[in-house]
Amino acid sequence: MKRALITGVTGQDGAYLASSLLNKGYEVYGTYRRISTPNFWRLEYLNVFNKINLIPADLGDTGSLFETLKISELDEIYHLAAQSFVEASFETPVATGDVTGLSVTRILEAIRQLCPDARFYFAATSEMYGKSGKTNRPLREEDFFHPMSPYAAAKLYGYWITKIYRDGYGIFAVNGILFNHESPIRGLEFVTRKVANEVAKISLELSEELRLGNLNAKRDWGYAPEYVESMWRMLQQKEPDDYVIATSEAHSVRELVQKAFDVAELDWQEYVKVDKRFLRPLDVPSLRGDYSKAKRKLGWSPKTKFNGLVEIMVKEEINRWKRWIDGERFPWDAPNYPSENRILTRASRM
Ligand code: NAP
Ligand code: GDD
């Protein structure tokens, strides 16, 4: 049985990837960090909470990362954990540099010293292209990076250190350059889920308006469960390489809002207000990716495009809020702790 470690298993991609690897017959390990309110709700939502092994580790804590790699005899390591919210990276640039950037070296060093044969996936990002996104054609692997946020600069560091450990030490290390991907278990702060959630509440008269920042920004939005499949495929290749994963369609935030209100049969102009609190010091104007290398080499293509994605998200939020009105509570209203046998603390390993 193959063994895989996912850092950031409590996040959107971590939860979907855990589910996907379990279905492929993997033994799955996932790191989580101590926070004041446990957030295993995504793992519960996907019904994988009791099927994976949880390891306490923090990206800022080198020792905990080394300990994690020591115990597991891993075949594959997916490094997904990060401070992943671009807006927050302007508020906490140093912490983002450490957690999102430097942590990649911490993990690669641990791999080099402890398990150099393990295959390594780094969650790079389209945000690294930044200003280069203003070109009219979709972006490819060889295009120029021009970051426009502390988050993107940190990810670019992670991207390069991944290449350096691949070329310098022969580690099977890949960069997945994923464009935005969304789902009903996306964090509420990201624009797609924020819009879907508020549209659902407005349609059920639980809210009256939706406040947003830059409506002109364009993004290439895909469906997260399909994107995690590409991560696995990258690690099954003969040689390590870097891949763009995208839909090749770009839509503006304005179009997103319009489509989301259409799904709920409402007129967006009656509810949406621009609020400068949600504007960023810099914002990438447009991002669109060319996934032809992934299609050719990995056999990967997106199935869900923009309209389908917005429909999935808005309908799921309406369904959730209807259940909430009927008295049902969401998993995140009742925080849960992992059962003891699934939590691998240091003491339990001694
Ligand atoms: P996410 O939902 O924000 O999940 C991030 C994960 O990182 C969470 O499990 C979080 O733990 C963990 N984490 C944050 N700080 C940590 C720390 N100091 N120590 C240990 N764990 C920490 O992000 P996602 O959407 O799943 O994205 C996964 C990865 O892909 C991220 O690296 C992101 O930057 C990258 N990416 C995402 C997209 C996208 O559109 N989704 C596109 C390109 C690249 P908590 O649950 O405790 O907060
Ligand atoms: N979050 C948010 N909230 N974004 C808004 C809002 C708002 O109220 N109003 C407008 N936007 C605009 C942002 O300015 C940005 O141009 C766009 O909507 C998308 O914002 P996010 O959903 O926060 O995503 P992102 O593109 O900044 O970053 C996401 O995608 C990257 C890949 O390109 C994150 O998942 C990153 O981790 C990922 O690397």
The answer as to whether 348 is a domain residue is: no
The whole-number pLDDT of residue 344 equals: 82
CA distance 236 to 77: 12
More confident residue, 344 or 280: 280
Residue 13 pairs with which residues in a beta bridge? Answer: none
Residue range 301-318, pLDDT digits in tens: 999 999 999 999 999 999
The answer as to whether 344 is a domain residue is: no
Q: Is the minimum distance from the CB of 48 to ligand 2 under 6 angstroms?
A: no
The answer as to whether 170 is a domain residue is: yes
pTM over 0.85, yes/no: yes
10 is catalytic: no
Residue range 232-280, pLDDT digits in tens: 999 999 999 999 999 999 999 999 999 999 999 999 999 999 999 999 9
Q: How many domains does the chain have?
A: 1
Mean pLDDT (whole number) for 59-64: 96
The answer as to whether 343 is a domain residue is: no
The whole-number pLDDT of residue 77 equals: 98
The answer as to whether 90 is a domain residue is: yes
Q: Is the minimum distance from the CB of 171 to ligand 1 under 6 angstroms?
A: no
Q: What is the DSSP string of 2-60?
A: -EEEEETTTSHHHHHHHHHHHHTT-EEEEEE---SS---HHHHHTT-TTTSEEEE--TT
127 is catalytic: yes
317 is catalytic: no
Residue 17 has pLDDT above 60, yes or no: yes
Q: For 272-305, give one letter per residue: b (16+ CB within 10 A) or e.
A: beeeeeeeeeeebebbbbbbebbeeebebebebe
Q: Give the distance, in angstroms, between the CA of residue 235 and the centroid of all CA atoms in the same chain.
A: 17
Identify the nearest ligand to the CA of 273 by its number.
2
Q: Which domain holds residue 155?
A: 3-335
Q: In sequence order, which residues have a C-beta less than 8 Å from that of residue 153 and are 6 or more positions away?
A: 97, 101, 147
- Shortest CA distance to 272 belongs to which of 251, 252, 253, 285? 253
User: Which two tokens mark 305?
Assistant: 């495009």
Q: HSE (CB half, 13 Å, CA atoms) of 86?
A: 20
Which residue's alpha carbon is nearest to atom 40 within ligand 1? 180
How sure is the predictor about 64, in pLDDT bands with cuts at 50, 70 and 90?
very high
Q: Looking at residue 161, which CATH number applies to its domain?
A: 3.40.50.720
The answer as to whether 350 is a domain residue is: no
The answer as to whether 206 is a domain residue is: yes
